[in-house]
């Protein structure tokens, strides 16, 4: 077992556990876009950021790829994380606004404006489809091509793949096309129609409805 400190709590987890799994195990929710339990970790969406290291000398890492280590100090809900995460969600909205998953994240983290020039890409290059095709479907029909801003998902040499069995696994797992909401109109990057999905509980009830500490919604509200 590995002993470490998670949000001030002394905990122990099995060797080989990632920080994301650890946090989830202890009931702490961390948002992700490129992670799926059945697939290998990739660390591309950067939403699952956590802060590791002692305060003052800490840095941000993606929790899905970071293994639990002896004596590690981890914080999952800090101002630094919230700032970076909100900026990332804003960037996601500016790139691919027609994904319900992303719109939901915007609601959850109260991102209510996009200050970047709006684009309407379909793909966020999270790589889930590529890993799905490879690891679960054993087909390896698609892959990531090119680098930097030119990166895209494609079949080898852009030819119709003979490996592809049209299983639809890639579509099933895609956060951009699996839950496609009607989305905002072209000129409006945000619809906020789903804002009622994640209400901070104390606004509705006398007592807190969850005993999670820290509560994601309350924590973020406090940091605004």
Strand order in the sheet with 2-6: 9-13, 2-6, 73-75, 49-52, 59-62
Closest CA to 19 of 67, 51, 90: 67
Least Cβ distance, residue 168 to other proteins (angstroms)? 25
Q: Among residues 22, 32, 76, 95, which is the contact residue for other proteins, using CB under 8 A?
A: 95
Q: Among residues 55, 56, 149, 187, which is the contact residue for other proteins, using CB under 8 A?
A: 149
The stretch near other proteins (CB under 8 A) out of 99-107, 115-123, 168-176, 202-210 is 115-123
State the Cα–Cα distance between residues 102 and 90, nearest whole angstrom. Answer: 9
The stretch near other proteins (CB under 8 A) out of 81-89, 99-107, 174-182, 198-206 is 81-89
Specify burial of residue 220 (Cβ count, 10 A radius: 0-12, 13-18, 19+). buried
Mask 46-65, x = binds other proteins (CB under 8 A)? Answer: x--x---------xxxx--x
State the Cα–Cα distance between residues 103 and 124, nearest whole angstrom. Answer: 13
Q: Please report, as ranges, the residues that interact with other proteins according to CB under 8 A.
A: 42-46, 49, 59-62, 65-67, 69, 80, 83-85, 87-88, 91-92, 94-95, 115-117, 124-127, 144, 146-151
């Amino acid at each position: 077992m590995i002993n470490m400190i998670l949000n001030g709590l002394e905990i122990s987890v099995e060797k080989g556990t990632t920080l994301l799994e650890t946090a989830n195990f202890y009931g702490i929710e961390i948002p992700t876009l490129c992670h799926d339990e059945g697939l290998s970790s990739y660390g591309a969406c950067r939403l699952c950021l956590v802060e590791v290291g002692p305060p003052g000398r800490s840095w941000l890492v993606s929790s899905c790829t970071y293994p639990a280590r002896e004596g590690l100090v981890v914080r999952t809900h800090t101002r630094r994380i919230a700032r970076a995460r909100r900026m990332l969600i804003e960037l996601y909205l500016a790139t691919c606004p027609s994904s319900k998953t992303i719109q939901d994240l915007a609601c959850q983290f109260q991102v209510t404006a996009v200050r970047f020039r709006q684009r309407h890409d379909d793909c966020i290059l999270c790589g889930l489809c590529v890993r799905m095709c490879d690891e679960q479907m054993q087909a390896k029909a698609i892959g990531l091509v090119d680098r930097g801003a030119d990166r895209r998902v494609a079949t080898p040499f852009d030819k119709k793949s003979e490996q592809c069995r049209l299983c639809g696994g890639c579509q099933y797992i895609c956060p951009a096309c699996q839950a496609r909401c009607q989305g905002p109109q072209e000129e409006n990057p945000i619809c906020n129609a789903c804002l009622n999905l994640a209400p901070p509980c104390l606004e509705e009830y006398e007592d807190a409805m969850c005993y999670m500490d820290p509560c994601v919604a309350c924590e973020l509200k406090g940091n605004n």
